[in-house]
Structure 1
């Protein structure tokens, strides 16, 4: 059985309108089963994962795109990340005792949302996402309109089994015909149902929506959960904490134990590890 974790680009021929489709199944479950997420938070995390995959399709270099939100509501942290080669990871931190209302703004409360683009080579970039719309998709559409000056539509879906989404963009330099096409395909895209996006393959969905248009599909790409943590990266985090703090923890606890927030891999460092980190050699 073919994997349902797939990403696919498409364009409307002879126009400045492009799109992308994604469906997540196993990767979504691997991520959302890392913690006992309440349904509203799992749904929003699924939407964020889909959004990060769709937005990563706009990158023209190797690297990662992450979506991060910090809030003062029940959902304290929301983070999703996708690399150029479609590896994803994500998490949410929440206060289960504060769960009351379940809409987007009630979950996050007051807070900040940002998109961070980290090239493998080059400078990191971060853009602030406005929090004025009532949905995650609406906030991201406003981000593209304000920060990138690119008209963008995002449809994000998520339930207990999977997540899926559709992105449409009208690129700069569009003609009157492109503008008419943009209005037409946007209207059609908004008619798609959640079960169609979550259960049907891309060709079927896009044919149902845009069968009167000339659409070119590019090869599909697999999407998978993969954490980028490693022992070396964790040591780098300890180095950033500083020598004094690390040795203080060693004196108190005998070792430094750290768990990856995304995949729960456990790392343990003893005094020899910390000696080598800060002096380049061990004393024992």
Structure 2
């Protein structure tokens, strides 16, 4: 493999010089415009007519070539400028990655997970997704299982982030992987993986964040009557529970939905209480008091 070293600053300066060259080309074309587009009328003899035709053809060819030259120059400058931008972006990404590696190095050494950044997606069959960063980062996705192997679980987030998606279960009735949990502060739980063909159960959805976050959707049951996965729980304060996974083709049962957060439960209880008519002392609901009529 051959390597190419490029200095974006030098390339940008070259692009600027080429752009200035365009004005020189334009000035040359303007100077030659009159002599290549205007000709004296040909004389009545045949020789003058042929000479006029020759110079006229030469002028047309010059105009065509000059137009092509201007277009080529413009395209070349644009290509060079785009290349400079690509190299500059690549250098910025490298610097950013080096900075992240420096920041994440202590926590990776002590805890095996980054401080900032998404967890890695699993690459081996049935492998679990990596955990997200302790401060910010989504969990990685679990990998699908092979024949008879359960899907990998999705990685959980740290303080803020969404849980990873569970991997699908392998054929032969393997269970789908569970979704990762959302961040401790906020984040949505990951969806559970689909159950494997042959009646595999769908993976459970991940739980939402501790303060805010909905639960993940349970994975669908596998073909052959697999049961859908249970939906993730909406966490402590605010968060709707995740929907249960649909049952697999062939008579599978859908999974149960996850419970909502405390605030959702209080709101539901209040609405239920305020919409129910009060019960009278005699055991009957006092729906309406009719006015008494005098005899």
Structure richer in strand, relative to its length: 1
Q: Is the TM-score greater than 0.5?
A: no
User: Using CA pairs below 8 Å that are at least 6 residues apart, which structure has the higher relative contact order?
Assistant: 1
Query: Normalised by the size of structure 1, how large is the TM-score?
Result: 0.20
> Which of these two proteins has the greater Rg computed from alpha carbons?
2
Superposition TM-score, scaled by structure 2 size: 0.20
